[in-house]
Structure 1
Amino acid sequence: MSDADGVRRPGRSSARTAALARRLTGGELEAYLVSGTALVVGALGLLNVTSPDVVAAATLAVLGVITFDLLTGRRRLRRVESVLRGVADGLRPTGAGSVDPLLTAAAPEAAVLAGARDIRLVGVTLSRTIRSQLDVLRQQLADGATVRVALIDPTGPAPEEAARRNGLDANGGEVFARRVQPTIDLLDYLAAQATGGGRLEVRLLHFVPAFGMVLVDPEDPTGRISIDIYSHRPDGREATVTLRADRDPVWCRHFVREFDRVWAAGRSGDDRSRA
């Protein structure tokens, strides 16, 4: 096709040729060449135009080219995957993710405590935790585990403080003192039932801990720590976040040290142990 001034412009056929050339760049051109060579070699073998040795050698050469093309294609794919992963990481907003998957409202399951050798509990009254985990705690003590429990002292100022935090009146301290006493009774029951080499220790706190904790083998690589975030005037749901020693080593060490500080500040109750 030519313009009026005689200068030839690329027509429709040349545009198609350019588009075809773009499609045949890189891996596609190699694929067409290999396929064509394979067809020619196959035709020569069927027509007995050349000797079988030549056909076999050509077939091996074609297979080698195909293998090389597959390897280079995989390398290119890995490079593309690496680039896309870097782009995705760069586009991911920092600190904008939801914490909903990290926070739950579930109490620790018995399966988490089963098989543990080191169990540490911190809470206000721990009435629900001790009551629901009584059987597994008894089993772990029989198997030789160490269980340490820290909860508020019913005879100190902690019950009044807990009452104030829950919005109760001046007599609310008696409510918490009565709530913690059954937990202490259950701990005495556990000590009396212990038949193995386990050890049960209790510390009574003159203050209300800032959060509850369930530490399960926290010094081991497979340890777990559940943190209960207490609410002001709770409505029945307490947020819980679970840490794993292999995944969250920094914060696991932090809360292990926090447990040690709480434990050191408590008043030692009667050592509830059985040899």
Structure 2
Amino acid sequence: MSQRPGRLRRLLVRVINDENVDLYILAMVAVAFTALGASGLSDVKTLSSVVLALLAWLALSQIKSRRQLDELGKAQRGNPTTLLKSEFPADLISRRAASFDMLVIGLTMTRTVQGLTTDFPAILAAGGRIRVLVPDPHDEALMETADRRMAHSMGAGRVKQRILTTLEDLATIQARNEGRLEVRVLSTIPSAGFNCLDVTSPRGLICVQHYEFQPRREAGPIMTFTAQDGPWFHHFVAEAERMWEAATPVPAIEETAPTPGEGVGAA
């Protein structure tokens, strides 16, 4: 007997704290007065007043529900500034150095490759895979377009030289280290800059930099997605992989590269 009051109190507290308590009360009152009306214990005037009161209560409940839905929608949309950044994540460099499977795509990749000169050999020695994708430096028109995507124009010739330097640095790393280091060139400007790190693992991360036309500073926005972000994470991973599949391995490009004295600007 002593346990019954305690159970009743817990049940009462649970009902009172329930978000739908107003609907429970509304339903009970409606059932009660429906029974009174059917049995003739309540007159028409009283029933009409109760019905109007119930309708008013139902309207208030609907207003409450709509406010909750609005708040939920705002929470799901979130603040766009939490996703769209003007700078790269502070831990991107360390994440790249600690990755096992990497696909990086960019315009010249000079800063990235030079920054990872000591990390690439360690990744390769551990059995990791590194893939680098840049525009084809032997396409002069493509180099002019790439220059217009730079924060500071340096001329198509300089862009070409920076890409060639990147390719030479990668060739040196490849010659000095065993492992899976693959380099390809693309016949179009990449739609964005990509850092795809361990994307097939639960700790996968992809950082996407939108390329602007003649940006005045670092192109943006910059967006970061993890495997937990679901559809958009997989969307950008798939896009990066499509560009990689459409690109040409560097050895094939080097074999068809114009020799000195040929091509644009030749005498």
Q: Secondary structure at the match of 1:233?
A: coil
In structure 2, the residue matched to 1:54 is none
In structure 2, the residue matched to 1:224 is 205
RMSD: 3.1
Q: Secondary structure at the match of 1:149?
A: strand
1:124-168 deviations in whole A, cap 9, x for unaligned? 111122222333333211111111110022222321221244598
Are the structure 2 counterparts of residues 258 and 67 from structure 1 closer, same or farther at C-alpha, using a change threshold of 3 Å? same
* Cα distance in 2 between the residues matched to 1:167 and 1:98: 27
> Structure 2 regions of 5+ residues with no counterpart?
22-60, 253-267
1:259 maps onto 2:243 in alignment: no
Partners of 2:149 and 2:211 within 8 A in 1: no
How far has the Cα of 1:112 moved from its partner? 1.9
Partners of 1:127 and 1:183 within 8 A in 2: yes
> Structure 1 regions of 5+ residues with no counterpart?
1-59
How far has the Cα of 1:92 moved from its partner? 4.9
Q: Out of 147, 154, 161, which is 1:163 matched to?
A: 147
Partners of 2:151 and 2:216 within 8 A in 1: no
Are the structure 2 counterparts of residues 119 and 165 from structure 1 closer, same or farther at C-alpha, using a change threshold of 3 Å? closer
* Cα distance in 1 between the residues matched to 2:131 and 2:158: 24
Q: Out of 190, 211, 226, which is 1:244 matched to?
A: 226
Partners of 1:161 and 1:207 within 8 A in 2: no
Aligned positions, number = 206
Of 105-114 and 124-133, the range deviating more from structure 2? 105-114
List, as ranges, runs of 4+ consecutive aligned residues in structure 1 with deviation greater than 6 Å. Answer: 83-86
Q: Secondary structure at the match of 2:206?
A: strand
Q: Secondary structure at the match of 2:81?
A: coil
In structure 2, the residue matched to 1:56 is none
Are the structure 2 counterparts of residues 117 and 160 from structure 1 closer, same or farther at C-alpha, using a change threshold of 3 Å? same
Are the structure 2 counterparts of residues 100 and 203 from structure 1 closer, same or farther at C-alpha, using a change threshold of 3 Å? same
Q: Decide which structure has the larger Cα Rg and report it.
A: 1
Are the structure 2 counterparts of residues 165 and 230 from structure 1 closer, same or farther at C-alpha, using a change threshold of 3 Å? closer
* Cα distance in 2 between the residues matched to 1:98 and 1:146: 36
Partner AA of 1:111 in structure 2:
S
In structure 2, the residue matched to 1:137 is 120
In structure 2, the residue matched to 1:50 is none
Q: Secondary structure at the match of 1:237?
A: coil
1:61-72 equivalences in 2 (<5 Å): 61=2, 64-72=4-12
Q: Secondary structure at the match of 1:151?
A: strand
Partners of 1:110 and 1:136 within 8 A in 2: no
1:177-216 equivalences in 2 (<5 Å): 177-195=160-178, 198-216=179-197
Q: Out of 89, 97, 100, which is 2:69 matched to?
A: 89
Partners of 2:83 and 2:224 within 8 A in 1: yes
How far has the Cα of 1:208 moved from its partner? 1.3
Q: Out of 72, 84, 93, which is 1:103 matched to?
A: 84
How far has the Cα of 1:78 moved from its partner? 4.5
